[in-house]
């Protein structure tokens, strides 16, 4: 991590500067030109004063002063505009690159991540401009010393006597500021992360009456934030105070030597005036400190963004799926380890094309991880996942995303309208396709009751949890080409809606393979096959009515050992003298089918 952190600033900033290199270079050139004009002004002014004192008239030297001053104004204005434009472009490029990587690598979100992508990106975006103008900022005092030497070597020698303390001051400022800036940004991120968590759980906090406690938790890093903020101000204030003592002393020393040289006739009045201005430029530590401060903050921010970019994004291949494949899903020797624990252990599973497979098991058995692997939202640590014989890792991104549709327990709706939320995906959908998908998911009815129907703005629609799930299902129905993966995506549906969705899944006109993770016996009963996971392994693969004879299987759904009322029916092959309860949902399905 240390090596990656050290390399983070160039890795973050350089790619973002590609489209703004000309503007950043122009900023550096204009800064250098401004310094050149600033160094020329004392010489031109000194010659004008000497000519006036000799009685020759100022003449062209006065016009030269006016031209230099006008040039400084124009160059300064152009530099400010270009610096703002290039900084904004680089910041935007840093954010675009970081956001794309976050989405591709599926980096967990939160307040700290938002802080990195917003505030830290702005600081990192200022790095190219600060780096481009730093040579000019350093060039001003260096040029002042050289000009002093050209004016009179004794003046330069006098100044150089006090230069080491100034250099030490700049070095100490840069080192102390770097540490403070990194700690300050880290504390900001932790406050933002806790605030996002608190906002997400606002109802729980209100119900538990723990507002004050939660506020203290959110603001827990505030003392450290305050301490690091004060430390940065103290460092800058100490540097400013020390410079306020050193700079006048150096200037007085230079002027004293200059006065002696003037008395000796070795220096003119104009030369002494120029020397005073050069001494001021040579002691211009403020500009250097300001540029260093921007660089320090920007590099610290770039390191934090670099930590996000260091999260590996999955690489995609160049293969395509075979034409007309049925959607056969295979997991061969798949092992997944998370947090040091084995979630899936050498799992072998084949889901025939067009099959509806329910995945069941106790909490922690690996159901959701299996759902992630099925469409390559995650990669196994060992083993291979294949769709129609093609390894998922070998497929192009477009091919993979077009082949697999996902629906989740808590779907996030994206897009401006509810129709956009259904159509959101890798390819454009017709209005008819959106409507068909909504009908299949049982969402068409409540959508048409809204004042603007499918065109209702997403933010203006008061949706229940079940309605949001139905829209998520509709999105999956609309986009899944060969495989639909439903990760507990029917858990919030009422019984009638679930039966409707189950009918759509069982009678999918496109013949897609369907993989459902579920905690409901009814959902498992409607599937063609059930994969029973236990401790990361496949305990059984069979139809639901076959597995129902196993008491351990029934215990997954908290089912009693004996059935009740009309739901009781004997299972073929059950031991004599005792009936194994069959899931009541089978009876309901039969009744529902007759009514349909």
Residues 429 and 302 occupy one common structural domain: no
Give pLDDT tens digits for 214-253.
888 888 888 888 888 888 777 777 777 766 667 777 778 7
Give domain status of residue 440, yes or no.
Answer: yes
Confidence tier at 588 by pLDDT (50, 70, 90): very low
Same domain, 337 and 375: yes
Mean pLDDT across 261-285: 80
Into how many domains does the chain fold?
2
Q: How far is 542 from 349, CA to CA, in rounded Å?
A: 12
Are 251 and 352 in a shared domain?
no
pLDDT digits (tens, 9 = 90+) for 173-212: 767 777 788 888 888 888 888 888 888 777 787 887 888 8
pLDDT score of 57: 63
Whole-number Å distance between alpha carbons of 461 and 450? 8
- The verdict on residue 558 lying in a domain is yes
Closest C-alpha among 353, 356, 354 to residue 328: 353
Confidence of residue 348 (pLDDT cuts 50, 70, 90): very high
Q: Which of these three, 309, 343, 365, is where a domain ends? A: 309
The answer to the question of residue 363 being in a domain is: yes
Residue 485 lies in a domain: yes
Residues 208 and 301 in one domain: yes
Backbone conformation region of residue 339, classed left if phi is above 0, alpha if psi is from -120 to 50, else beta: left
Four-residue CA torsion sign, 501, 503, 508, 509: negative
Q: Which two tokens stand for residue 494?
A: 């009422």
Three-class secondary structure of residue 362 per DSSP: coil
Question: CATH number, domain at 411?
Answer: 3.40.50.300
Range of the domain at 305: 13-309
- Picking from 309, 344, 378, the residue at the C-terminal end of a domain is 309
Supply the mean pLDDT for the chain. 81
Q: Are residues 148 and 267 in the same domain?
A: yes
Boundary (domain end) residue, out of 309, 340, 358: 309
Residue-wise pLDDT for 140-154, tens only, equals 888 888 888 888 888
pLDDT beyond 50 at 136: yes
Is it the case that residue 6 has pLDDT exceeding 50? Answer: no
| Higher pLDDT, residue 115 or 10 | 115
CATH, residue 293: 1.20.1560.10
**Contact at 8 Å (CB) between 371 and 529?**
no
Q: Are 336 and 302 found together in one domain?
A: no
Residue 402 has pLDDT above 70, yes or no: yes
- What pLDDT does residue 58 have? 60
Asked whether residue 252 falls in the same domain as residue 343, the answer is: no
pLDDT per residue over 20-77, tens digit each?
Answer: 888 888 888 998 898 888 888 888 888 888 877 777 666 677 788 888 889 989 998 8
Q: For residues 411-427, give the mean pLDDT.
A: 87
How sure is the predictor about 285, in pLDDT bands with cuts at 50, 70 and 90? low
Rounded mean pLDDT, 481-491: 86
Residue 8 included in any domain:
no
pLDDT of residue 8: 52
- pLDDT of residue 7 exceeding 80: no
Look up residue 204 and give its two tokens: 């729980």
Q: For 87-118, write each residue's pLDDT tens digit.
A: 888 888 888 888 888 888 888 777 888 888 88
Q: How confident is the model at residue 557 (pLDDT cuts 50, 70, 90)?
A: confident
pLDDT at 168 over 80: no
Asked if residue 463 and residue 528 are part of one domain, the reply reads: yes
The residue among 431, 433, 495, 492 whose CA lies nearest residue 467 is 492
Distance, in Å, from the CA atom of 409 to the CA atom of 421, rounded to the nearest integer, reads 16
* 347 lies in the same domain as 254: no
Kindly tell me if the per-residue pLDDT of 573 is higher than 50.
no
User: Which residues does 476 contact at the CB level (< 8 Å), separation at least 6?
Assistant: 405, 406, 407, 484, 485, 486, 489
**Mean pLDDT lowest for which of 262-266, 517-521, 559-563?**
559-563
CA distance 130 to 120: 15
pTM value surpassing 0.75: no
Angle between helical axes of 153-161 and 163-200 (0-180°, round to 10) = 50
Residue 179 lies in a domain: yes
pLDDT at 123 over 90: no
- My answer on whether 303 and 388 are in the same domain is no
66 occurs within a structural domain = yes
In the block, tokens 């124009």 appear at 74
Which pLDDT band, with edges at 50, 70 and 90, does 171 fall under?
low
Tens of pLDDT, residue by residue over 374-401, are 999 889 999 999 999 999 999 998 899 8
321 lies in some domain: no
pLDDT band for position 164 (cuts 50, 70, 90)? confident
Does residue 116 sit in the same domain as residue 262? yes
Between CA 314 and CA 401 the distance in angstroms is 13
Same domain (yes/no): 291, 335? no
305, pLDDT greater than 50: yes
Model confidence at 1, pLDDT cuts 50, 70, 90, reads very low
């Amino acid at each position: 991590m240390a090596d990656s952190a050290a390399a983070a600033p160039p890795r973050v900033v350089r790619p973002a500067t590609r489209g703004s290199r000309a503007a950043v270079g122009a900023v550096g050139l204009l800064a250098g030109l401004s310094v050149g004009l600033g160094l020329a002004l004392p010489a031109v002014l000194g010659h004008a004063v000497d000519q006036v004192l000799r009685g020759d008239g100022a003449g062209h030297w006065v016009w030269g002063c006016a031209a230099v001053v006008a040039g400084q104004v124009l160059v300064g204005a152009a530099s400010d505009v270009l610096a703002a434009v290039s900084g904004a472009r680089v910041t935007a490029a840093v954010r675009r690159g970081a956001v794309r990587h976050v989405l591709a690598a599926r980096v967990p979100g939160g307040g700290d991540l938002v802080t990195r992508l917003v505030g830290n990106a702005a600081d990192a975006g200022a790095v190219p401009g600060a780096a481009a103008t730093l040579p000019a900022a350093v060039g001003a005092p260096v040029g002042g010393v050289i000009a002093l030497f050209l004016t009179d070597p004794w003046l330069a020698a006098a100044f150089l006597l006090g230069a080491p303390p100034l250099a030490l001051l700049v070095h100490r400022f840069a080192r102390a500021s770097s540490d403070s800036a990194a700690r300050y940004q880290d504390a900001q991120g932790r406050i933002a992360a806790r605030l996002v968590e608190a906002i997400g759980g606002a109802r729980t906090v209100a119900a538990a009456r723990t507002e004050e406690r939660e506020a203290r938790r959110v603001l827990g890093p505030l003392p450290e934030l305050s301490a690091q903020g004060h430390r940065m101000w103290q460092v800058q204030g100490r540097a400013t105070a020390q410079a306020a003592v050193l700079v006048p002393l150096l200037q007085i020393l230079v002027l004293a030597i200059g006065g002696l040289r003037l008395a000796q006739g070795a220096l003119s009045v104009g030369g002494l005036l120029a020397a005073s201005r050069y001494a001021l430029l040579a002691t211009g530590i403020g500009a250097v400190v300001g540029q260093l401060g921007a660089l320090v903050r920007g590099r610290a921010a770039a390191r934090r963004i670099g930590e996000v970019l260091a999260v590996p994004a999955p690489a995609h291949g160049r293969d395509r799926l075979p034409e007309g494949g049925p959607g056969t899903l295979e997991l061969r020797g798949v092992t997944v380890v998370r947090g040091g624990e084995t979630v899936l252990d050498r799992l072998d599973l084949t889901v025939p094309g067009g099959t509806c497979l329910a995945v069941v098991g106790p909490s922690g058995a690996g159901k959701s991880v299996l759902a992630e692997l099925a469409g390559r939202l995650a990669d196994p640590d060992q083993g291979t996942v294949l769709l129609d014989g093609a390894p998922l890792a070998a497929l192009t991104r477009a091919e993979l995303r077009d082949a697999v549709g996902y629906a989740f327990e808590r779907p996030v709706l994206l897009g401006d309208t509810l129709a956009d939320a259904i159509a959101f995906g890798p390819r454009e959908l017709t209005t008819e396709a959106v409507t068909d998908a909504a009908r299949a998911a049982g969402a068409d009815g409540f959508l048409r009751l809204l004042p603007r129907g499918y065109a209702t703005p997403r933010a203006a629609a008061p949706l229940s949890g079940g309605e949001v799930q139905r829209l998520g299902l509709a999105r999956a129905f609309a986009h899944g080409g060969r495989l639909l993966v439903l990760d507990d995506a029917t858990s919030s549906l009422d019984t009638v809606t679930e039966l409707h969705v189950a009918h759509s899944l069982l009678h999918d006109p496109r013949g897609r393979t369907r993989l459902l993770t579920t905690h409901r016996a009814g959902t498992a009963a409607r599937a063609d096959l059930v994969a029973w996971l236990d401790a990361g392994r496949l305990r059984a693969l069979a139809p639901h009515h076959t597995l129902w004879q196993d008491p351990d299987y029934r215990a997954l759904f908290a089912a009693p050992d004996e059935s009740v009322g009309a739901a009781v029916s004997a299972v073929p092959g059950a031991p004599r003298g005792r009936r194994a309860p069959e899931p009541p949902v089978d009876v309901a399905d039969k009744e529902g089918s007759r009514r349909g």
